[in-house]
Structure 1
Amino acid sequence: MNATDTTLAIGVMGFQLGIDRILIGIFTGLTYGLLAVGLVLVYRSSRFVNFAHGSIGAFGASVLGLLVIDWGAPYYLAFPLAIGVAALLAAGIEVGVVRRLAGRPSLIGMIATLGLSQFILIMALLINSDGVSGFTFPMPPFLPSFTIGKLPVSSAHVAMVLLAPAVLVGLSMFLRRMRQGMAIRAAADDADTAALEGIRAPRMASYAWALAGGIAALSAILVTPTTAGQSIDTLGPDLLLKGLAGAVIARMTSIPIAFGASIGIGVLEQVLLSNPDTRGLVPVVLGIVIVVALLRQPTLGRADTERGGWRRVGAPPVPAAYAAVRGIRFAPYFLVGGCATIAVALAYVVSNETASVLTTVAGFALVGLSVGLITGVAGQLSLGQFAYAGIAAAVSVHLVESWGSFVLGTIGGVLAAAVVSALVGIPALRLKGLALAVSTLAFALATTAWVLRLDIFLGDGVSPAKPTWWGYSMELARDYYLFALLMLAIGIFVSANLWRGGFGRSLQALRDNEDAARAFTVPRTLRKLQLYAVSGALAGLGGVVIGHGQTTLTVNSFPASASIDVVALTVVGGLGLVAGPMVGALIIVGLPGMVALGIPGQALLAVGWLLVVVLLPDGLGGIAMRMRDRWYDFLASRAGIDPVAARAEPDVTQRSPLQRSAALDGLFAVDTEDMDAGPDAAPLLVVNDVSRHFGGVVAVDHVDLAVRPGEIVGVIGPNGAGKTTLFEIVAGFTKPDTGSVVFAGHDMTTATPERRANEGLVRSFQDAALFPTMTVRETVMVAGERTAPSSLLAAALGTGLPERLKARRADELIDRMGLGPFAGRTISELSTGTRRVVEITCLLALEPRVLLLDEPSAGIAQNECDALGDLLLDIRRELGTAMVVIEHDLPLLARLCDRMVAMNLGRLIAEGTPDEVRTHPDVVSSYLGSDHAAIARSGPQLTSGEPLPAGTP
């Protein structure tokens, strides 16, 4: 090496840190920066990550390759045409797909873009099968190429340096100075406010998607000729991950930060690539960068309050009257038995080749069951399920070889997948959707590129053993298919039990409304870790089935794209149905395995499952459920039951449950110690000097509050006084900056909301939203988790006694509270007043010692407030429950509370009896201002001790 080379190549711990590596990293980082900018534009307009972003760029690159290589068009004519095609494609996706998904969870939008990604890549291959290879892809002509030391700088690198900054500057000027650009920013920031200014937010979103699509194509066109050996299959996901890292660092908002961070990503990538031992770690490192960036940000990726648009989990309920019809009662058993008989019989009539395909279908269906649990029930998106399957297969193969026991090898592989899945999911415990999807995508890419290639896993390939049944080796594919069916049956049994038991109900509650679930004692962290482990175990069982069914097992047996395929098959079959993955696997995996579809057929298949996502929210399984309902209606009518009357909604014109007298006598085991406590008793709840600041805003300022057993304390104050924030601190949802919370003699300052609720410190919420997709009965059973928590093992085995006890208790509470006619209706169907009664019923199921009620009369008709007051007083009389009540209805509060405190600007400004507080000068001033004329106009009630008008703000 000459002197010049020595200065350019600096080795540190096996990595090359010379100027050559840094320069090439900067060059590629410029294109990643453009990709990150496009992701930011899309996220700001649609609020989800477009997983088809890299594929759109790859499609644009494919168009350029077609025009230049195949058709002979001049490069600089094809260049803008290819970018324009990608821009139109992106805009078409926004109009044709994204808009149709409005009102549904953002996770569904991400799943749709996964389908689009598959379809777009297939179409790119269809129009130009080899035009995106780094060896043959055209480079920009008329630009210089040279070397720096040993670094070859091609014309594509020069184009990166020239075009990337120019595009960034031009885009920045367009968004900040041009009318159309400012309109795009305004619509992205607040669509409703922009509409008042005459800006059509949907059109602006289409423009943002078009800009992002064009930029993605520019990135792919510039980076492809610099990556020798790059293929279209890896270009889309690989580009996406590299652009996403910079975008997340920029909090999906700042274009300059995204661009600058991406340059650093490019340099980091080149450093890793310089060491042969770390080349496969690029996706892992990028995934870590993304997750760390998410965890360091206060809002992006946090568990949000997105509660609308989720589908109900499980098959639609059958009317109770149908239980008397024998044909309906036994229909599920006949259906399951018939399908099982047909599946087993196929082993004796099909060829070994077909049996091998059916085995693969069973394996994919098992992995799909894990997706159904983590996505359909829990509402999170994992793109690494097939990676866990690959790890389980590799571990199982080696354990069987070492121990000679197929049973122990299978168990070991399943446990390994469960552990890895839980470990990968740990960073996403406090995050939702975006974090888990991105971290598992990175893990899937890393598993294919590095993990499975290690000798301890698959290396260059292994030969798996076949199971032995009472001395008979299942070498033939038809014999092994029976083993696959047995494993699938076990997976279905466990999944069905988890879905319909307390474990699945807890996950659904966390999905619908995480804060309410935690307030009902659902252990968020434990349940999520259990979810990741169980879903990984199911995926691992599928991997064992697939792995041992092959003659030679290699890394190509578990490609990263298969993780997207299992999401596809689960969505096609029906995310909310246990049987969904089986239906989807037969179509997505079985059909191509038995019929040679070719690229056009694969494109049609991708379009088909995309249409299912957009047009059939319940998948093909939803169609099957509707056919089931029609058949049941037919059988019921033959038995003399009127289907219309049986399926009729309960009479909602009846009186509200609040207007019924709730007979609570004898319903609870009363804590006599709390009930007998006198005015001199030690406080049950002590809030000492708590404060909370949000930036420069003081929400709670050195507040002290004590509540004795059985006491009702009212809290009043104008909007923004800090009342709800104080509740958030006491209930554990917000950490105080200073001070402490002591409950029943125990310091609860750092305790989780779940622990506080378990101890009897329970809160309600202003909106009483509860769990929109769950029925009243299911919701009350969620609250029953405090007295009868669900065990994962018991749920998996289908142990029915705990569930029956919980259901019986819920039915008793529902009957006593007058909610019987509403028991089978979902929360989203109920009026605000009825939801409030359901919430109070749930609070009773928790058997609280202190209730924190946040505006319990909100949304309730004025003529029902007296009934609400009677109900709360009955609760105190029967349970001895102390209460802290935030309320604007001062007559109701005066009737309820023994003592009242007033807050303003985060501070307590008055404390005493209701009359003393309502007439306190500072309270009057905080409600009506300090202007004496205004106070005089308010009437004599403010100075005579009479109550303020109901609903005074």
Structure 2
Amino acid sequence: MSATEAVLAMDVMGFQIGIDRLIIGVFTGLTYGMLAVGLVLVYRSSKFVNFAHGSIGAFGASVLGLLVVDWGTPYFVAFPVAIAVAALLAGGIEVGVVRRLAGRPSLIGMIATLGLSQFILIMALLVNSDGVSGFTFPEPPFLPSFTLGTTPVGPSYLAMLLLAPAVLLGLAWFLRRTRQGLAIRAAADSADTAALEGIRAPRMASYAWAIAGGIAALSAILVTPTTAGQSIETLGPDLLLKGLAGAVIARMTSIPIAFWASIAIGVLEQILLSNPDTRGLVPVVIGIVIVVALLRQPTLGRADTERGGWRRVGSPPVPAAYKAVRAIRLTPPVVVIGSVTVAVALAYLVSNETASVLTSVAGFAIVGLSVGLITGVAGQLSLGQFAYAGIGAAVSAHLANSSGNFVLGILGGVAVAAVVSALVGIPALRLKGLALAVSTLAFALATTAWVLRLDIFLGDGISPAKPTWFGYPMNLARDYYLFAILMLALGVFVCANLWRSGFGRSLQALRDNEDAARAFTVPRTMRKLQLYAVSGAIAGLGGVVIGHGQMTLTVNSFPATASIDVVALTVVGGLGLVIGPLVGALIIVGLPGLVILGIPGQAALALGWLLVVVLLPDGLGGIGMRMRDRWYDWLAARAGLDPAAVRTEPDVTQRSPLQRSAQLDGLFTPDTQDLEAGPGATPLLVVNDISRHFGGVVAVDHVDLEVGPGEIVGVIGPNGAGKTTLFEIIAGFTAPDTGAIFFADRDMTKATPEHRATAGLVRSFQDAALFPTMTVRETVMVAGERTHPSRLAVAALGTPFPDRLKANRADELIDRMGLGPFAGRTIAELSTGTRRVVELTCLLALEPRVLLLDEPSAGIAQNECEALGDLLLDVRRELGTAMVVIEHDLPLLSRLCDRMVAMNLGRLVASGTPDEVRSHPEVISSYLGSDHAAIERSGSHLAPVTPLPAGTP
């Protein structure tokens, strides 16, 4: 072997790392880099991942193939036309779909692009029935071909090398040097600020999508000829994952980092492909790269400011007056019994072939139940649910075959799926939105490409056992269908219990407002792990149903694209309804199984579920709920009720519960130890030398603070003084740079907000946003988790006793606080002042020992501040609660507090009685002297501050 050949064929531990392999890796990495650049552009403009990005590129490639191969158009004429078509398609998607989703969570945007991906791929096949086969796809003319070692290098590789850097440099110049490019960047960074400069952010987003679409088409056109046997589906999830890897490494923000990281991904892929033993590990390794990148970037994908747009979970409540109508009370059980009867009767009326389709419907519906729980209730997108189903099916089949015990097989499959789901979900514990979607997509592809192909799972295929019923084997499809219906009923029973339990309310609270939920003692980490585990278990149960219903179980039984299908059917049926997945499965799975649709029919089906996402936020199940309400109105009218009068609730938006006198006497049992306040009392809360810097800004600067039992301490200071940051540190939402926090003689410096709130150190928030989609009663019940925490097993079984305790306590508090007329209204419907009273009610439900109140009078009418003060003093009297109160209303604060401290520029500048602090020179100059409105807001009963003589230090 010559020296040149040795360099080209370098072998390291079984991997070929020669120059030829590395160069090919760079070539393919250039293509992935362009995909990553497009993903970053879209993410920066729309704040979600465009899962149709690869499909848009595939459509452009199909157009090129049609023009060149079928119509004989010159390549360099068809090339810009295909790219322009893809750009127009992407821009049209932004205008026609993405803009219509404005105001809804970014997760819905990602789901919409999943539907778009399927629809666009089908349309690409309609445009060019040959697809994008690497055998027939045209290559750029006039470029040479040669061999590098044993690797042929065709014109497409050279085109990548020439065009990819040129595109990157051209894009960089456009974004940095042109007016339009600068406008796109400005709109992506801050749409509101850009609007003040006359920049139309929606138009800039359309431009960004169009540019990304053109880049995707360029990538697909160049990569297709390099892969023999390329199918159009390959340009979907698999190619998207490789582009996502570079984009995630770049934190979805930096175009240059995304480009160069993708080149590294291309080289890594080629090295893995050089070894026969690791060729199937490409998606596994790329998935690991993505997970590591996510774990190293704790802020990626967080949706801290995204609290609006979620839909209410569960069916609309029935008016209380309707519950007295016997026909209305009987309707739900009659519908359930009738549906079950029809489902069972079908086993004796349909053929075995139809029964097999209905079994698949049941299995997909069960997996869809797991999507409904993790997405509809918890607001997170998982694209790996069918992978968990495949693992559950494989484990169940092996256990049932080896032990002869079918029940053991089911339990084993469900348990392993639960464990795997929890492990895959770990990277998303601290992250929202993007993290779980990306990591589960990587896992789904890795499962299909490698995990299920292992002999311990499916290998080359296994024959699963069939269940038996009192010795009767369910070998026939019609018999097995009855088993599938039983498992579906079990899944619906468990999920319905979880949705309406304290466990489900905790997940909704974390979805709507994670910080407020944690302040109400909801254990974020434990709840999310439980969520991932139980959703994986339900998906595993669906896999068991699907797997044991087949004669031979192979990896093809659980394709990665099926995870998208279960998301689709859940959305079509209704994300907010337990029964939604069954409705969707009948359409998405049942219809194609019973009727041959062909490509046009598949396109219509994909377009249909996309339209449901865009136009029907509650899915088809929402239509069913509206029909139910009309039926109930008709029954109520027959019973003598006036539906219009019953459903017309009083206008509560203008009335505040503070106008009623809260009666707290006897509602609580105070902590007598906390009531023993005095000069010699041991401080309940000690803040020792706390500091916090944000970059070069000093937010809190060596602050010391003590709060005794039953003491009320007021905190004043101008905006930006560091007051709220100090609260964030004391409550555990922000870690201090220096210092320590002690509560009840325990070091709480590293404790989570949940642990602090459980111990009795509770905080409020300035905006009192709470949980917009939940009712007042449900919100107070969430706060009741501290005294009566929900248990997962108890919730799954539907035991009503724990929730009954929380409900009774919530009703008592609501009544005492004058919130009765508001109990059934959602938080989003309430005025700011009423939300503030609801928040105070929740804080009382927590029975705090120290209460951190951040501007409690914000949003409350001026004439109600005195009532608010009386209420807070009653809370101290009844509970013995100590308080630290940030407030700009100085008369209110002076009336409340025993002691006052003032902050400025992160430091405590004064401490003492209210009069002493108000008279302090630095307080006057930094705060009071510039804000006379704060002095006068609640009245003039406080003595005015006497100006200090000139020259006073």
The answer as to 2:104 corresponding to 1:104 is: yes
Counterpart-to-counterpart distance in 1, 2:704 and 2:10 = 62
Q: CA deviation at 1:181?
A: 1.4
TM-score, reference length from structure 1: 0.97
Once the two structures are TM-superposed, the CA of residue 947 in structure 1 deviates from its matched residue by 12
C-alpha separation between the residues in 2 aligned to 1:239 and 1:925? 62
In the TM superposition, 1:897-908 aligns within 5 A as 897-908=897-908
How far, CA to CA, are the matches of 2:784 and 2:190 in structure 1? 40
Deviation at 1:137?
1.5
The amino acid that maps onto 1:367 is V
Deviation at 1:930, TM superposition (A): 10
**Closer/same/farther in 2, CA of residues 944 and 652 from structure 1, 3 Å limit:** closer
Question: What are the residue-to-residue correspondences of 1:552-591 with 2, within 5 Å?
Answer: 552-591=552-591
- 1:951 maps to which residue? none
Map of 1:441 onto structure 2: 441
Give 1:459's aligned amino acid.
G
Q: CA deviation at 1:298?
A: 4.7
SS in 2 for 1:168: helix
- Total equivalences in the alignment: 941
- Note if 1:138 corresponds to 2:151: no
**Do structure 1's residue 738 and structure 2's residue 743 form an aligned pair?**
no
Question: CA offset at residue 299 of structure 1?
Answer: 2.7
Amino acid at match of 1:527: R
**Contact residue 890 and residue 947 of structure 1 kept, 8 A:** no
1:290 match? 290
- The answer to whether the Cα contact below 8 Å between 2:693 and 2:737 also exists between their aligned partners in 1 is yes
Tell me how far apart the structure 2 counterparts of residues 941 and 662 of structure 1 sit (CA, whole Å).
24
Q: 1:431 to 1:894 in 2, by over 3 A?
A: same
| 1:366 aligned onto 2:358 | no
Deviation of 1:257 after TM superposition, in Å, equals 1.4
Match of 2:399, as an amino acid?
L
| Alignment partners' CA distance in 2, 1:926 and 1:766 | 22
Name the residue aligned to 2:707: 707
> Which position in structure 2 is the counterpart of 1:68?
68
- Aligned partner of residue 73 in structure 1, secondary structure: coil
1:271-350 alignment, distance < 5 Å: 271-350=271-350
Contact 1:294–1:301, Cα closer than 8 Å, also in 2: no
Conserved in 1, the CA contact under 8 Å of 2:512 and 2:773? yes
Structure 2: how far apart are the matches of 1:306 and 1:926? Answer: 34
Q: Secondary structure at the match of 1:908?
A: strand
Q: Aligned-residue CA RMSD in angstroms?
A: 1.7
- Supply the distance in 1 between the matched residues of 2:593 and 2:587 (Cα, whole angstroms): 10
The aligned counterpart of 1:38 is 38
SS in 2 for 1:452: helix
- Residue 231 of structure 1 and its aligned partner are, at CA, apart by 0.9
| Deviations, residues 737-757 of structure 1 (Å, cap 9, x unaligned) | 110000000000000000000
State the match for 2:781 in structure 1.
781
Rounded to whole Å, the distance in 2 between the matches of 1:946 and 1:566 is 71
1:928 is displaced (CA, Å) by: 6.2
Distance 2:64 2:517 in 1: 52
Q: Is the 8 A contact 1:924 1:942 kept in 2?
A: no
Look up the SS of the partner of 1:348 in the other structure: coil
After superposition, residues 377-776 of structure 1 pair within 5 angstroms as: 377-652=377-652, 655-776=655-776
- CA spacing shift, 1:548–1:192, aligned 2, 3 Å: same
Q: CA deviation at 1:144?
A: 1.2
Q: How far apart in 1 are the matches of 2:796 and 2:336?
A: 19
Q: Residues 721 and 903 of structure 2 are in contact (CA less than 8 Å); yes or no, is this contact kept in structure 1?
A: yes
Q: Could you tell me which residue of structure 2 aligns to residue 92 of structure 1?
A: 92
Describe the SS at the equivalent of 2:453: coil
Maintained 8 Å contact 2:664/2:816: yes
Deviations 1:237-288 (A, max 9, x none): 1221111111122222221111111111111111122222222222222222
Structure 1 spans left out of the alignment, 5+ residues: 949-953
Q: Which residue of 2 aligns with 1:201?
A: 201
1:188 aligns with 2:188: yes
Q: In structure 2, how many angstroms separate the alpha carbons of the residues matched to 1:13 and 1:870?
A: 77
Alpha-carbon displacement from aligned partner over 1:494-524 (angstroms, at most 9, x marks no partner): 0000000001000000000000000000000
Which residue of structure 2 aligns with residue 877 of structure 1? Answer: 877
TM-score scaled to structure 2, two decimals?
Answer: 0.97
Q: How far did 1:623 drift?
A: 0.2
CA apart distance, 1:186: 1.6
Distance 1:879 1:448 in 2: 58
- For 1:353, the equivalent position in structure 2 comes to 353
Contact 1:57 1:236 in 2 (8 A): no
Please report how far the alpha carbon of residue 430 of structure 1 lies from its aligned counterpart in structure 2 after TM superposition: 0.4
* 1:204-283 mapped onto 2 (5 Å cutoff): 204-283=204-283
Cα gap change, 1:126 to 1:482, in 2 (>3 Å)? same
**What SS does the corresponding residue of 1:701 show, helix, strand or coil?**
strand
Alpha-carbon separation, structure 2, partners of 1:70 and 1:395: 48
**Quick one: which amino acid aligns to residue 497 of structure 1?**
N
Is the CA contact (8 Å cut-off) linking 1:650 and 1:822 kept in structure 2? no
Question: Given residue 404 of structure 2, which amino acid in structure 1 is its aligned partner?
Answer: G
Of stretches 6-15 and 585-594 in structure 1, the one that deviates more from structure 2 is: 6-15
Query: 1 CA distance for matches of 2:97 and 2:227?
Result: 32
Shift of residue 681, structure 1, vs aligned partner: 0.2
Give the AA of the match of 1:32.
Answer: Y
Q: Which runs of 4+ in 1 moved over 6 A?
A: 928-931, 940-943
Q: Distance in 2 between matches of 1:264 and 1:567?
A: 32
Question: Structure 1, residues 585-627: CA drift from partner, whole Å, max 9, x if none?
Answer: 0000000000000110000000000000000000000000000
Percent identity of equivalent pairs = 85
1:11, distance to aligned residue in structure 2 (A): 2.3
Distance 1:688 1:845 in 2: 29
- Structure 1 counterpart of 2:828: 828
Contact 2:653 2:831 in 1 (8 A): no
Structure 2 vs 1, CA of residues 946 and 284 (structure 1 numbering), >3 Å: closer, same or farther? farther
> Which secondary structure does the structure 1 equivalent of 2:686 belong to?
strand
Contact 1:713-1:897 within 8 A present in 2 as well: yes
- Gaps of at least 5 residues in structure 2 are 949-953
Letter in 1 for 2:284: V
SS in 1 for 2:37: helix
608-617 or 242-251, which moves further after superposition? Answer: 242-251
1-side partners of 2:884 and 2:473: how far apart?
A: 69
- Shift in Å, 1:129: 2.8
Equivalent residue runs for 1:906-945 within 5 Å: 906-927=906-927, 945=945
What does residue range 109-120 of structure 1 map to in structure 2 within 5 Å? 109-120=109-120
Report how far residue 70 of structure 1 moved. 1.7
CA deviation string 1:295-326 (max 9, x = no partner): 32353213523110000000000000001100
